[in-house]
Amino acid sequence: MSVTFRRVSEKDLKKLNEIVNDSEVCRYLSLIPPVSMSSTKKAFERFRKAGDLWYCIMVDGAVAGAVLLKTTPKGLKNSHVASVGIDIDKPYWGKGVGGQALEFIIKKAGEKGVKRLEIEYMEGNTRAEKLYTRIGFIHEGRRKKAIKAGSKYYDSITMYMWLR
C-alpha cells in the first residue's frame, strides 16, 4: 500500500465532501451532516487565503482523506502555534494511514517553523486517542462540553506536541 500526499485542489473537493458526509467519519468531526459542497468550497478558499496547508491523503493513487495544518498569522505572540485536523475514509481505517499522514504533517509543520502543534479529539474517539498518543502528542486538557452533537454535549480533549 502506497501512501502519498498532494495539496488539495478544486478537483478533489467532491471526493473530500463525500468522505466527510459518511456518518461514521463525520461522527467525531465538528462538521454537521449533511455537509454541502458549497461549505467544502468555502473551507478550501478560507484555508488557501489563511496560508493553511491542506493535503489529500492518497492511498495507491486514490483520495482516501485529508490532513490540515491550520496556522496562526505571522507577527503575533502565538505565531509559532498550529493545529492539525484529519479525516480518513472508512475503508482505510486501522491500516496505519493516519499515522503516516500525521508524520507527514508534523514534518511540514517543522519546516514552516511551527513549535507548538495542537490536536483535539471528541471524547469516545478511541481510535484518534490511540493514534495521537502513539505519534507523540501529549494530553493537555479537557474542554468540558465543548461539542454539541444532536442534543448532547461532549468534552473535547486537547493534546499538544513541542517541535524542536
Which residue ranges make up the site for ligand COA (CB under 6 A)?
25, 28-29, 65, 86-88, 92-99, 121, 125-128, 130-131, 134
Element (H, E) at 99: helix 97-111
Element (H, E) at 21: none
Residue 22 or 37: the one with the smaller Cβ distance to ligand COA is 22
* Residue of closest CB approach to ligand COA: 98
Spell 94-107 as b/e; 16+ CB within 10 A means b: eeebbebbbebbbe
Q: How far is the CB of 160 from ligand COA (least distance, A)?
A: 14
Residue 25 or 63: the one with the smaller Cβ distance to ligand COA is 25
What residue type is assigned to position 81 of the chain?
Answer: V
Distance CA 153, CA 145 (A): 5
Residue 19 or 114: the one with the smaller Cβ distance to ligand COA is 19
Q: How far is the CB of 74 from ligand COA (least distance, A)?
A: 26
Residue 79 or 99: the one with the smaller Cβ distance to ligand COA is 99
